[in-house]
Amino acid sequence: MSTERVPTGHVQTVGGRVPAAELGFVLPHEHTGIQLWQIPDRWDYWELTPDDGLLVPELAAYRAAGGGTLVDLTLPGVGRDPLRLRRYAEATGLHIVMGTGWYRTAYYPAEALIDRRSVDDLADELVAGIDGGVDGTDVRPGIIGEIGTDKPWLTALEERVHRAAGRAARRTGLAITTHSVMSPVGLAQLRVFEDEGVDPARVVIGHADSYPVLEHYLEIIRRGANLEFDFLGMSFTPMERHGEPRIVDLARELIDRGHVDRLLLSQDVCHNSQLTAYGGNGYVHLFETFLPRLRAAGVPESAIHQMTVLNPARILAT
Residue 179 sits in the site that holds Zn ion (CB under 5 A):
yes
The least CB distance from residue 300 to Zn ion, in Å, is: 29
Kindly identify the residues of this chain, within the stretch 124-163, that bind Zn ion according to CB under 5 A. 146
Number of C-beta neighbours around residue 244 at 10 A: 21
Nearer to Zn ion, 150 or 194 (CB): 150
Which residue number is nearest to Zn ion in terms of Cβ? Answer: 179
Residue 315: HSE in the Cβ half-sphere, 13 Å Cα cutoff: 34
Nearer to Zn ion, 198 or 204 (CB): 204
Q: Please give the size of the binding site for Zn ion, defined by CB under 5 A.
A: 2
The least CB distance from residue 180 to Zn ion, in Å, is: 8
Residue 271 sits in the site that holds Zn ion (CB under 5 A):
no
What would the x/- binding string for Zn ion be over residues 189 to 228, using CB under 5 A? ----------------------------------------
Which region, judged by CB under 5 A, interacts with Zn ion, from 56-64, 156-164, 174-182, 191-199? 174-182
Nearer to Zn ion, 266 or 306 (CB): 266
Which region, judged by CB under 5 A, interacts with Zn ion, from 137-145, 171-179, 191-199, 233-241? 171-179
The least CB distance from residue 178 to Zn ion, in Å, is: 8
The least CB distance from residue 296 to Zn ion, in Å, is: 28
The least CB distance from residue 251 to Zn ion, in Å, is: 19
The least CB distance from residue 118 to Zn ion, in Å, is: 26
The least CB distance from residue 222 to Zn ion, in Å, is: 24
Residue 104 sits in the site that holds Zn ion (CB under 5 A):
no
Backbone region of residue 224 per phi and psi (left: phi > 0; alpha: psi in -120 to 50; beta: other values): left
Which region, judged by CB under 5 A, interacts with Zn ion, from 39-47, 123-131, 179-187, 221-229? 179-187
Which residues contact Zn ion by CB under 5 A? 146, 179
